[in-house]
Amino acid sequence: MLLLLAIAALALPLTQNTPRTLGGASITAVGVQPNLPLNASDSSESFSKALDENIRLTREAIEKSPDRSADIVVWAESPLALFYENDPVVKEKLDGFARDIGSYLIINTVTRQGQNYLNSINTISPREIGINTPTYLKLRRYDKIRLVPFGEFVPWRPLLGRLVPAITGDFTPGKDTVVNQLKLETRRAAIISGTQFSPREGIERTTSYARVGSFICYESAYPDIVRRFVKNGATLLVNVSNDSWFGNTAGANQHLAHAMMRAIENDRDMLRVTNTGITALITADGQVIEPLQMFTSGSHFWQAQLNRRLTFYSVNGDWFATGCSIFSILILLFSLARNKFSAQGHPTGTE
**Nearest Cα to Cα of residue 61 among 30, 86, 28:** 30
Query: Over 70: is that where the pLDDT of 292 sits?
Result: yes
Mean pLDDT of all residues in 284-307: 94
Mean pLDDT of all residues in 126-155: 79
Query: Over 90: is that where the pLDDT of 273 sits?
Result: yes
The rounded distance, in Å, linking the Cα atoms of 95 and 80 is 17
Percent of the chain with pLDDT over 90: 50
pLDDT bin (cut points 50, 70, 90) of residue 160 is: low
Query: Over 90: is that where the pLDDT of 88 sits?
Result: yes
Write out pLDDT tens, residues 11-52. 333 333 344 455 568 899 999 999 998 877 778 888 999 999
Q: At what angle do helices 44-64 and 88-101 cross, to 10 degrees?
A: 10
Mean pLDDT of all residues in 109-113: 93
List all residues 6 or more positions away from 250 whose beta carbon is below 8 Å from its beta carbon. none
Q: CA geometry: angle at 22 spanning 18 and 28, to 5°?
A: 140
Q: Residue 51 phi/psi, 5° resolution?
A: -65, -45
Calculate the average pLDDT of the chain.
82
Better-scored residue on pLDDT, 332 or 55: 55
Specify the amino acid at residue 23: G
Q: Residue 337 phi/psi, 5° resolution?
A: -65, -40
**What's residue 12's pLDDT?**
37
Could you tell me if 123 and 180 are in contact, meaning their C-beta atoms sit under 8 angstroms apart? yes
Superfamily of domain 25-333: Carbon-nitrogen hydrolase (3.60.110.10)
Better-scored residue on pLDDT, 346 or 232: 232
**Nearest Cα to Cα of residue 282 among 272, 292, 267:** 272
Better-scored residue on pLDDT, 312 or 186: 312
**What's residue 248's pLDDT?**
83
**What's residue 93's pLDDT?**
94
Residue 149 carries which DSSP code? B
Rg (Cα) of the chain, in Å, rounded?
25
Mean pLDDT of all residues in 139-159: 81
pLDDT bin (cut points 50, 70, 90) of residue 345 is: low
**What's residue 186's pLDDT?**
53
User: In the chain, what are the domain boundaries?
Assistant: 25-333
Mean pLDDT of all residues in 130-150: 80
Mean pLDDT of all residues in 302-322: 88
Query: Over 70: is that where the pLDDT of 159 sits?
Result: no
**What's residue 19's pLDDT?**
43
Mean pLDDT of all residues in 132-156: 79
pLDDT bin (cut points 50, 70, 90) of residue 61 is: very high
Write out pLDDT tens, residues 168-213. 667 889 999 999 999 886 554 444 444 444 555 554 445 588 999 9
**What's residue 34's pLDDT?**
94
**What's residue 274's pLDDT?**
95
pLDDT bin (cut points 50, 70, 90) of residue 156 is: low
**What's residue 9's pLDDT?**
39
Query: Over 50: is that where the pLDDT of 330 sits?
Result: yes
Q: Residue 279 phi/psi, 5° resolution?
A: -95, 130
pLDDT bin (cut points 50, 70, 90) of residue 340 is: confident
**What's residue 98's pLDDT?**
95
Write out pLDDT tens, residues 237-271. 999 999 887 878 888 899 999 999 999 999 999 99
The rounded distance, in Å, linking the Cα atoms of 144 and 174 is 5
